[in-house]
Amino acid sequence: MSPVLQAGTVYGLGLGPGDPDLMTVRADRLLRQARHVAFFRKAGRKGQARRIVEGMIPEGAIEHPMEYPVTTEIPVTDPAYNRLLAEFYEDCTAQLVALAAAGEDVVVLCEGDPFFYGSFMHLHLRLLDQVPVEVVPAITGMSAAWTATGTPITWGDDVLTVLMATLPEDDLAARIAQTDALVLMKIGRNIGKVRRALQQAGRYDQAWLVEYAAMPGQTVQRLAEAEDRVTPYFSIVVVHGHGRRP
């Protein structure tokens, strides 16, 4: 009787905000021992996660790019958007399950932390109860952003709110007005809406814009002093808290 093949493990490998030096020791070790490396990317692009680990993937490891069928081509409110992405995640899951079922471990490269607005979350949900899956946490991009400003994000009893700039403008303004410290993500084409919401909430002059935090080309400036333009995808707006301190 042939021995039962032990299933491999799929690892959601948090890479941190962009600087390989900010990866955890465990993430570094798993990557350098990997035989299969999967990563998300836009069609025709190398992919930011893959770019972070350039030179770290072992020779002979097999790479598995997972190309999004859609990113910004259609609105997220279009029913086709969710349908296309759901099919994509199902296909990716099937590929990972097949590798793990064959006894192979697979690392899936994840920008930032896998459980913080990351694409791997959609795979994790589908992988559960099929094959072993583990998540390796990491430093988030927002942590790198507020560190880049050189000022603590929260003091004492400050409440920190994380908002997506994709929310309606009135919702953004209301939530901004109610919090002490703020992180705004997914800026990009929403920069105008973000500016108006901050102004409406009376927090505009306190806001900082950090582009490419912990990556080559990092910039840090007051949002009010930044050029009135569409910011890159890797942009975060930070408003610091000013709470209780000794």
| Cα atoms found within 13 Å of the Cα of residue 114, Cβ hemisphere only | 25
- pLDDT at residue 132 above 80? yes
For every residue of 217-233, DSSP letters joined together read T-EEEEGGGS-SSPPPS
Tens digit of pLDDT for each residue in 44-81?
Answer: 889 999 999 999 999 999 999 999 997 766 677 778 88
Identify the architecture of domain 10-139 in CATH.
3-Layer(aba) Sandwich (3.40)
pLDDT tens digit sequence for 70-113 = 776 667 777 888 899 999 999 999 999 999 999 999 999 999 99
The DSSP code for 224 is G
Q: Give the model's pLDDT for residue 72.
A: 65
Question: Which residues make up the CATH 3.30.950.10 domain(s) of the chain?
Answer: 142-239
Q: Please give the Cα distance from 156 to 192 (Å, whole number).
A: 32
CATH superfamily of this structure's domain 142-239: Tetrapyrrole methylase, C-terminal domain (3.30.950.10)
Confidence of residue 2 (pLDDT cuts 50, 70, 90): very low
Only one residue has tokens 């990997």, namely 34
CATH 3.40.1010.10 in the chain: give the residue spans. Answer: 10-139
> Does position 1 have pLDDT exceeding 60, yes or no?
no
Helical (H) or strand (E) element with 95: helix 79-101
| Angle at alpha carbon of residue 182, lines to 215 and 21, rounded to 5° | 25
Longest dimension (CA), the chain: 73
pTM for the full predicted model: 0.91
Query: Could you give the CA distance from residue 93 to residue 85 in angstroms, rounded to a whole number?
Result: 12
Q: Tell me the pLDDT tens digit for each residue of 200-237.
A: 999 999 999 999 999 999 999 999 999 877 788 889 99
